[in-house]
């Protein structure tokens, strides 16, 4: 059931983006009666937020009348859960101010579906695209050729592709994941650890940057080498992931390593469970810092984690695209915007949680 506040937000967003909203369509979309929507419209009209008309509502007009969205922007991401869901929400929050209507496509990490989604969005009239392209099972030359043939402005989101000039010259908004890993290792060192292990789910575009940051921090701080274990996803073969986590714990015990950085939150939570099942204490016997902060607080021991700025990243990506649409591709140099993650301290590392 949609609460009054969420219904009001929906009505105002539709009016802002399209200039008007029909009561019947809003009722069907929200799963409530038209009577409820008409009551909401009356309340918003009384508050001076919109104008009520027969069959719906319109934006409060200036002498030029209601303002609708000026541009349709396509967004193609690999999934709409966790990380990219929040990124899309960030774009959605900024879209009304830019008078942009967003249309979402999901690729499920499949290059052929990604290309189909882009074709569909272009056919709908998209004047620009925000893309998180799939780099798996696709050569960089093929990716560059495809992106170069797209006839509207592009912004890549949460991708770092420096191997080809044609790719690196596109506008990009991304998180500095290497910085996040450095934050994690530095924090563990401040807590007294001189050896830090790492476990990484390598089949993500984020993983290489996490590894880069970890290696940088270990070298910069003169740490002893810690265990390094590549982790699988675990959904298709849970037994394999259990073996990998057990291997990481075995190596930590054998080398006297009492701190570990684990990408992702889910993998870190499973590592904590494995450690607890062995009778180990977290953080007393093993301090754990996770990466992503998607479900970290819900772990058996709430996880200290690197928190990525997902919503802010969405806002930056959409703003970059709006600027590029407004000014054209040849009037300013490409922009690479990197946002820094922060460390959220909870119970799993041994430090006092921050309020």
5: pLDDT strictly greater than 90: no
pLDDT, mean over the chain = 90
Distance separating alpha carbons of residues 316 and 322, to the nearest angstrom:
10
The domain 177-308+344-349 having CATH identifier 3.40.470.10: the answer here is no
Under the banding of pLDDT at 50, 70 and 90, the label for residue 312 is very high
The lowest-confidence range among 63-67, 185-189, 200-204, 225-229 is 63-67
Question: CB under 8 Å to 210, separation ≥6 — which residues?
Answer: 177, 178, 180, 181, 200, 261, 263, 291
Instruction: Give φ, ψ of 186 to 5 degrees.
Output: -60, -40
pLDDT in tens, 39-79: 999 999 888 888 887 888 887 754 344 445 568 899 999 98
The lowest-confidence range among 10-19, 36-45, 105-114, 334-343 is 10-19
Q: Determine the pLDDT at residue 34.
A: 92
What letter would DSSP give residue 34? H
Q: Determine the pLDDT at residue 330.
A: 63
Indicate the pTM of the whole model. 0.78
pLDDT in tens, 270-300: 999 999 999 999 999 999 999 999 899 999 9
2: pLDDT strictly greater than 70: no
145: pLDDT strictly greater than 80: yes
206: pLDDT strictly greater than 80: yes
Question: What's the burial of 331, exposed, middle or buried (CB within 10 Å: 0-12/13-18/19+)?
Answer: exposed
The domain 71-174+311-339 having CATH identifier 3.40.50.2300: the answer here is yes
Q: What is the mean pLDDT of residues 334-352?
A: 94
Instruction: Give φ, ψ of 293 to 5 degrees.
Output: 60, 50
Q: Determine the pLDDT at residue 303.
A: 98
Q: Determine the pLDDT at residue 1.
A: 56
Q: Determine the pLDDT at residue 354.
A: 58
Structure tokens at 91: 């774009």
- Closest to 287 in 3D by CA, of 262, 251, 254: 262
33: pLDDT strictly greater than 70: yes
Structure tokens at 236: 């298709």
4-58 and 71-174+311-339 have identical folds:
no
Strand, helix or coil for residue 258: coil
353: pLDDT strictly greater than 80: no
Q: What is the mean pLDDT of residues 100-108?
A: 91
Query: Which residues are registered as beta bridge partners of 73?
Result: 102, 128
Distance separating alpha carbons of residues 355 and 341, to the nearest angstrom:
17
Structure tokens at 252: 């930590």
**Where would I find the H helices in the chain?**
4-18, 23-30, 34-46, 82-98, 111-123, 140-149, 165-168, 177-190, 207-220, 238-255, 265-277, 310-327
Are 258 and 289 a contacting pair, CB within 8 Å?
Answer: no
- Closest to 260 in 3D by CA, of 247, 244, 249: 249
Phi-psi region of 124 (alpha: psi -120 to 50; beta: other; left: phi over 0): alpha
Q: Determine the pLDDT at residue 70.
A: 67
Q: Determine the pLDDT at residue 61.
A: 56
Structure tokens at 347: 């119970």
The lowest-confidence range among 39-43, 94-98, 146-150, 229-233 is 94-98
Under the banding of pLDDT at 50, 70 and 90, the label for residue 329 is low
Enumerate the domain spans of the chain: 4-58, 71-174+311-339, 177-308+344-349
Distance separating alpha carbons of residues 311 and 294, to the nearest angstrom:
12
146: pLDDT strictly greater than 60: yes
Q: Determine the pLDDT at residue 64.
A: 40
Right CATH for 4-58 from 2.40.50.140, 1.10.10.10, 3.40.920.10, 1.10.3660.10:
1.10.10.10
Q: Determine the pLDDT at residue 65.
A: 40
216: pLDDT strictly greater than 90: yes
């Amino acid at each position: 059931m949609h609460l009054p506040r969420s219904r009001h937000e929906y009505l105002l967003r539709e009016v802002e983006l399209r200039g008007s909203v029909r009561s019947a369509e809003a009722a069907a979309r929200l799963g409530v009666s038209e009577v409820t929507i008409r009551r909401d419209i009356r309340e918003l009209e009384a508050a001076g937020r919109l104008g009520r008309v027969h069959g719906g509502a319109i934006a409060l007009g200036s002498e030029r009348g209601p303002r609708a969205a000026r541009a349709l922007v396509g967004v193609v991401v690999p999934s709409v859960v966790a990380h990219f869901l929040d990124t899309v929400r960030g774009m959605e929050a900024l879209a009304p101010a830019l008078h942009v209507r967003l249309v979402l496509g999901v690729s499920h990490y499949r290059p052929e579906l990604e290309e189909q989604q882009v074709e569909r969005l272009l056919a709908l009239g998209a004047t620009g695209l925000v893309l998180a392209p799939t780099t798996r099972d696709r050569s960089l030359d093929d990716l560059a050729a495809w992106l170069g043939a797209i006839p509207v402005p592009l912004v890549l989101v949460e991708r770092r592709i420096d191997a080809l000039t044609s790719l690196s010259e596109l506008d990009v908004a991304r998180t500095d994941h290497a910085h996040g890993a450095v934050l994690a290792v530095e924090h563990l060192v401040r807590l007294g650890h001189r050896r830090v292990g790492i476990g990484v789910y390598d089949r993500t575009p984020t993983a290489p940057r996490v590894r880069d940051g970890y290696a940088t921090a270990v070298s910069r701080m003169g740490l002893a080498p810690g265990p390094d274990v590549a982790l699988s996803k675990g959904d298709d073969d849970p037994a394999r992931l259990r073996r990998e986590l057990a291997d990481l714990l075995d190596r930590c015990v054998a080398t006297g390593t009492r701190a570990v950085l684990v990408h992702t939150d889910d993998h870190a939570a499973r590592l904590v469970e494995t450690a607890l099942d062995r009778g180990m204490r977290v953080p007393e016997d093993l301090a754990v810092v996770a990466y992503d902060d998607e479900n970290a607080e819900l772990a058996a021991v709430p996880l200290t984690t690197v928190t990525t700025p997902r919503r802010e990243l969405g806002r930056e990506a959409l703003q970059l695209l709006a600027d590029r649409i407004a000014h054209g591709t040849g009037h300013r140099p490409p922009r690479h915007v990197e946002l820094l993650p922060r460390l959220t301290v909870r119970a799993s590392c041994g430090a006092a949680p921050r309020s």
